Every structure is written in C-alpha cells, then in structure tokens.
Amino acid sequence: MSELLDARGLSCPQPVLLTLEKLRSLSQGELVVLVDTDTSRENVIRAAASLGWQAKEVQAEGTDYRLTLKKA
C-alpha cells in the first residue's frame, strides 16, 4: 500500500524537503506525492532519484501532478 504526501500549495523547496523526509523514513516501497507546479514535479523527481527512488508514474490531474515514487 502506498503512502501519500500532499505537497500542493507549498513553495519551493518545501515539497522537496517533505518528500526527502518521507523517503528517508520509508527506506523502500512506494510513495505518492501530490504537487501543483511543473517546477515541484521536476525537483521532487530529481531529489528522489538522488536517494535511489524512481518515478514509476507521473499523472497530470487538472493543474496538479500525482507522482508515484518507488524503490525496491
């Protein structure tokens, strides 16, 4: 079961920092992150990759994005 992090409405770099904290606490598995800007989408994916997490799926939902991050 995926964990969910809603980082919508937060200004940079807070979505990235919240995501990193969550990823560290999970170590592995799946995390869904909701963001609402292109910049946050790219920055979260990049930061997650630096910890070995991959963006398994990126879904546009209206003006928001649903990022599914995964680490085996």
* 46 contributes a contact to other proteins by CB under 8 A: yes
Of these, 2, 4, 9, 17, which contacts other proteins (CB under 8 A)? 17
- The residues, ordered by sequence, that sit 6+ positions from 30 with a Cβ below 8 Å of its Cβ are 1, 2, 3, 56, 68, 69, 70
At 33, which helix (H) or strand (E)? strand 29-35
Q: Does 16 bind other proteins (CB under 8 A)?
A: yes
Q: Does 8 bind other proteins (CB under 8 A)?
A: no
**Residue 58 binds other proteins (CB under 8 A):** no
Provide the sign of the torsion angle of the four alpha carbons 19, 42, 60, 55, taken in this order. negative
Q: Which residues bind other proteins (CB under 8 A)?
A: 12-14, 16-17, 20-21, 39, 42-43, 46-47, 49-50
